[in-house]
């Protein structure tokens, strides 16, 4: 007796994959795993599962891309608004035109090509803009004269929010890589456990427990295969658009 549809394992989502593996451990435990001469295999697999769960359940495992995009949009809007304010002051030709001109020239130096800048370059551009406006006396005075201190504070906050989310995304990407590596290790240990179990069925006279475990694993595999076929059917529906029905067949 062998495990069927074993390729199904690689197609499962991470949560499903962990559920399957935890159920596999449970199957062995309920069939007197300690007497099956597979203790080392089971212990290694269980440790690997726990190791992956710690990373998978981490809050950093969540995708922060939408929040990152929103933060980038906020700082972009603030930069555009700041330029519009400076442009409007210059167009009016009032006595505050000179400080506005000084600030606008500095703005154009750092953010003139804003839409063409990469995300990290945008971050450093805002940092450089703020540094100049806060540390160069003539620009600091101009900012105060025009009442733009609060604007700079808000811009700095949006930029800092973006920085924090960017670091979270970088950490999340590293964790996703870790999850892939840990998952591959679990699959390897699972394959070895299954291979040993199948060997015991052939070589062990009292093999009922091994057969029962393989039967239960195959039942799980059929259940997940059905789920995967359902997903494939849903994707076909989305692609076809007007398709009236999709017939699902279980391989």
Q: What is the pLDDT of residues 94-149, one digit of tens each?
A: 778 899 999 999 999 998 888 888 888 999 999 999 999 999 999 999 999 999 99
Q: At what angle do helices 208-240 and 149-203 cross, to 10 degrees?
A: 140
In a domain, 249, yes or no: no
User: Does 156 lie in the same domain as 178?
Assistant: no
For the segment 22-50, what is each residue's pLDDT rounded down to a tens digit? 999 988 888 876 678 888 889 999 999 99
Q: Cα–Cα distance between 45 and 39 in angstroms, integer?
A: 10
Is pLDDT at 67 greater than 50 in this prediction? yes
75-78 contacts, C-beta under 8 A, 24 or more apart = 75/122, 75/126, 75/155, 75/158, 75/159, 75/161, 75/162, 76/114, 76/122, 78/151, 78/154, 78/155, 78/158
Phi and psi at 18, nearest 5°, equal -65, -40
In a domain, 126, yes or no: yes
- 0.85 exceeded by the pTM? no
Q: Which of 111, 46, 28 is nearest to 77 (CA)?
A: 111
Residue 103: how many other CB atoms lie within 10 Å: 25
In a domain, 29, yes or no: yes
In a domain, 80, yes or no: yes
Q: Cα–Cα distance between 246 and 132 in angstroms, integer?
A: 63
User: Would you say 225 and 8 are in contact if contact means Cβ atoms under 8 Å apart?
Assistant: yes
The dihedral through the CA atoms of 186, 9, 19, 210 has a sign that is: negative
User: Does 178 lie in the same domain as 161?
Assistant: no
Return the top range by mean pLDDT from 48-57, 134-143, 201-210.
134-143
Q: Cα–Cα distance between 45 and 227 in angstroms, integer?
A: 25
Band the pLDDT of 247: cuts 50, 70, 90: very low
Residue 217, CA distances (Å) to 8, 37, 100, 181, 193 in order:
12, 18, 73, 23, 12
Range of the domain at 202: 8-61+173-240
Band the pLDDT of 155: cuts 50, 70, 90: very high
In a domain, 3, yes or no: no
User: Does 21 lie in the same domain as 102?
Assistant: no
- Tokens matching residue 216: 């239960």
User: Does 98 lie in the same domain as 150?
Assistant: yes
Render 66-119 in DSSP notation, one character per residue.
HHHHHHHHHHHHHHHHHHHHHHHHHHHT-TTHHHHHHHHHHHHHHHTTGGGS-H
User: Does 102 lie in the same domain as 195?
Assistant: no
Residues comprising the chain, all counted = 251
In a domain, 247, yes or no: no
The DSSP secondary-structure symbol of 31 reads T
Q: Which of 11, 22, 1 is nearest to 190 (CA)?
A: 22
Select from 154, 171, 188 the last residue of a domain.
171
User: Does 145 lie in the same domain as 202?
Assistant: no
Select from 151, 171, 191 the last residue of a domain.
171
Select from 153, 171, 189 the last residue of a domain.
171
Q: Cα–Cα distance between 163 and 119 in angstroms, integer?
A: 10
- CA terminus-to-terminus distance, the chain: 18
Q: How many domains does the chain have?
A: 2
User: Does 151 lie in the same domain as 70?
Assistant: yes
């Amino acid at each position: 007796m062998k495990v069927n549809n074993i390729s199904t394992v690689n197609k499962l989502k991470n949560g499903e994959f962990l559920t399957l593996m935890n159920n596999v451990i449970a199957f062995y435990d309920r069939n007197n795993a300690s007497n099956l001469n597979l203790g080392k295999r089971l212990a290694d697999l269980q440790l690997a599962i726990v190791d992956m769960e710690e990373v998978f359940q981490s809050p950093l495992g969540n995708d922060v891309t939408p929040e990152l995009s929103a933060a980038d949009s906020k700082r972009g809007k603030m930069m555009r608004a700041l330029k519009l304010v400076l442009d409007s002051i210059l167009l009016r030709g009032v006595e505050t035109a000179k400080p506005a001109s000084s600030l606008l020239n500095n703005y154009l130096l750092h953010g003139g090509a804003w839409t063409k800048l990469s995300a990290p370059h945008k971050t450093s551009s805002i940092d450089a803009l703020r540094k100049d406006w806060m540390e160069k006396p003539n620009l600091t005075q101009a900012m105060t004269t025009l009442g733009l201190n609060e604007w700079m504070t808000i811009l700095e906050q949006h930029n800092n929010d973006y920085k924090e989310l960017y670091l979270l995304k970088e950490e999340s990407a590293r964790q996703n890589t870790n999850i892939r590596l840990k998952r591959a290790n679990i699959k390897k240990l699972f394959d070895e456990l299954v291979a040993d179990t199948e060997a015991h069925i052939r070589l062990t006279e009292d093999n009922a427990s091994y057969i029962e475990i393989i039967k239960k694993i195959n039942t799980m595999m059929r259940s997940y295969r059905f789920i995967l076929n359902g997903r494939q059917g849903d994707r076909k529906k989305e692609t076809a658009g007007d398709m009236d029905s999709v017939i699902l067949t279980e391989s």
